[in-house]
Amino acid sequence: MRRQNGVNTRRLRPPSHCNFAGPDTYTDGGARALEAACEPVRCALSGDLIVMVPIDFLFLGVVAKGFFASQVGDMLGEIRPAPAILFYLLYVGRDPDFCQRFGDGHWRSTLLYGALFGFFCYATFELTSLSLLKHWTWPVVIVDVAWGSVVTALRPRSG
């Protein structure tokens, strides 16, 4: 927050930032509202998606593959592309919105809220799996939630 004319105000990101919504976004007719609603989709198809997918596949398919295989064994199968693509589009598309809604535009805030978004999303999956699947383990939960928090916090932001 910064003070302007004695009033606390949030810093707005410049118009080039992904998901930027100016003051007249929702009052200037349906076209602007539609444009604002489509902005997360553009973000999902931007550099964030191009960077995050290969990093996540590298982690899951190479770096931690042995760990996951030793923990959950035969429950692992081949990656199914359609659900994976849907996950990344939803995940990467909503993350900037979450970070903007709660952050103040500073890089530390972006890291914090990126990590929190990753934590909430990955923990939801991991804890559900732990409660339902007999081969799911606490070490898998801890490693994957930590990974989700880190990769979401450190991935580049569209702009």
For residue range 33-74, list pLDDT tens digits in order: 555 555 655 554 566 777 778 888 888 888 988 998 899 888
Confidence (pLDDT) at 157: 57
Quick check: is 149 in a domain? yes
Quick check: is 28 in a domain? no
Element (H, E) at 4: strand 2-4
Burial class (CB in 10 A: 0-12, 13-18, 19+), 98: middle
Name the average pLDDT for the chain.
74
Quick check: is 118 in a domain? yes
Confidence (pLDDT) at 146: 96
Domain range for 60 is 40-154
Sign of CA dihedral 92, 50, 15, 9: positive
Confidence (pLDDT) at 144: 95
Quick check: is 20 in a domain? no
Confidence (pLDDT) at 17: 47
Quick check: is 7 in a domain? no
21: CB partners within 8 A, 6+ apart: 36, 39
How far is CA 85 from its chain centroid?
14
Quick check: is 111 in a domain? yes
Confidence (pLDDT) at 47: 65
Quick check: is 97 in a domain? yes
Quick check: is 140 in a domain? yes
Structural domain total, the chain = 1
Measure Cα distances from 64 to 18, 91, 140, 143, 144 in Å. 32, 21, 10, 9, 9
Residues of the chain with pLDDT under 50: 12-20, 24-26, 44, 158-159
- Distance between start and end Cα atoms, the chain: 21
Confidence (pLDDT) at 137: 93
Confidence (pLDDT) at 139: 96
Confidence (pLDDT) at 3: 54
